[in-house]
Structures are given as structure tokens and as C-alpha cells.
């Protein structure tokens, strides 16, 4: 028997054997990773969100060309997304006016999150295209993730779990209220 066949047989023997890893099954995320199953233009959550109430869509601010909402699948409490209203896939497709507001809202989001949550730093990022990891590749969006010196706990490493201390609705209200007072 060759090594490859022996390896396959050995692996088959291990099915069902427990290991130290917990699994968090998230089948609802499969749509974002399967080839060709990105939402169509008519199903784009970033196009639909502005048609809903702020509470329903978790929107914290509506600007002229862009808006800001909480990420439904946050990395940390207060994880925001800055999104243009226009359905465009890439940063290079944005108009100069959209870029200006996009940047200004990103800065304001950082100020708000620092003021209300004492964030010590931020991860700011955009994934452009499916191959770059964009969950919604058809609609440009930027992540603003607050970070704290002591936020690196062992849950994600040993339990594959993220601890989020506040409910999204409560975080939305707190950020929305602060947004009006912080420029």
C-alpha cells in the first residue's frame, strides 16, 4: 500500500475522535465563500440597509453619499462599516466626492469609538474582490474595528469564541447618540 492510501485510511480511523478544538458551525456564512454565490445586485445587503429603519439595519449615521452601520458579524464591540450608497465594487470606482465623505466618516467613526469606548487603536480595512476575502464583493465597504490593549484574550485561540460584551442594538444606540455630539 502506498503512503497516500495509508494516510487516507489513517484519517478515516480518526473520524469522530475528539480533539482540543471546539467548532462554531456557521452555515449562514457559506453564501459568502461559495463560488458564484455572492448576493446579486437586487439582494445586496448594503443596498437594502438604507431602505430600512436605522434600528433594523443597525445604521448609526446617514451621510449624503455614504452611511455607517454596525457589522452584523463583528470582530469586536463597535465594529463599524463605512459604505457608499452607490453600488460599486471597488475603491477605484468611487467618485472624488464619495472618497472625501468615506474618509471623513472613517475618521469620525474612530473619534466616536475612542470617545465612547476608549479604544486604544483601530484596524481599518477593505477587502476588494472575492479573492481578497470580501464577504460582499459587489459593494464597497470599509471596516473600522476598535481595539484595546487588553482585548487579546484566549477565547479566540482556545475556544474559537469571540466575547462581545454588549448587544448590537445597545451598541447602535450608544454610537448613534455619540455621533451627533462628536465631529
Residues carrying an active site annotation: 141
C-alpha 52, offset from chain centre: 19
| Strand-pair partners of 82 | 68, 142
* Gap between the Cα atoms of 172 and 64, Å rounded: 20
* Gap between the Cα atoms of 168 and 180, Å rounded: 19
For 70, phi and psi rounded to 5 degrees? -75, 145
DSSP H stretches of helix in the chain? 3-13, 30-33, 45-48, 54-57, 96-117, 168-179
76 and 68 Cβ atoms separated by less than 8 Å: no
Beta-strand ranges (E) seen in the chain are: 59-62, 66-70, 80-84, 121-125, 142-147
Coil/strand/helix, residue 27: helix
* Gap between the Cα atoms of 168 and 153, Å rounded: 21
Amino acid at each position: 500500500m502506498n503512503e497516500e492510501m495509508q494516510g487516507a485510511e489513517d484519517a478515516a480511523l480518526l473520524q469522530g475522535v475528539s480533539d482540543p478544538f471546539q467548532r462554531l458551525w456557521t452555515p449562514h456564512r457559506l453564501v459568502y465563500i461559495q463560488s458564484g454565490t455572492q448576493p446579486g445586485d437586487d439582494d445586496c445587503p448594503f443596498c437594502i440597509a438604507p431602505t430600512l429603519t436605522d434600528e433594523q439595519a443597525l445604521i448609526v449615521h446617514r451621510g449624503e453619499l455614504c452611511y455607517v452601520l454596525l457589522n452584523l458579524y463583528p470582530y469586536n464591540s463597535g465594529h463599524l462599516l463605512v459604505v457608499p450608497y452607490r453600488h460599486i465594487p471597488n475603491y477605484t470606482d468611487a467618485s472624488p466626492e464619495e472618497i472625501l465623505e468615506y474618509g471623513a466618516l472613517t475618521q469620525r467613526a474612530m473619534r466616536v469609538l475612542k470617545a465612547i469606548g476608549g479604544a486604544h487603536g483601530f484596524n481599518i480595512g477593505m477587502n476588494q474582490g472575492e479573492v481578497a476575502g470580501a464577504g460582499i464583493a459587489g459593494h464597497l465597504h470599509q471596516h473600522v474595528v476598535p481595539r484595546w490593549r487588553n482585548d487579546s484574550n484566549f477565547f479566540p485561540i482556545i475556544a474559537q469564541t469571540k466575547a462581545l460584551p454588549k448587544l448590537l442594538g445597545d451598541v447602535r444606540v450608544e454610537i448613534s447618540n455619540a455621533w451627533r455630539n462628536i465631529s
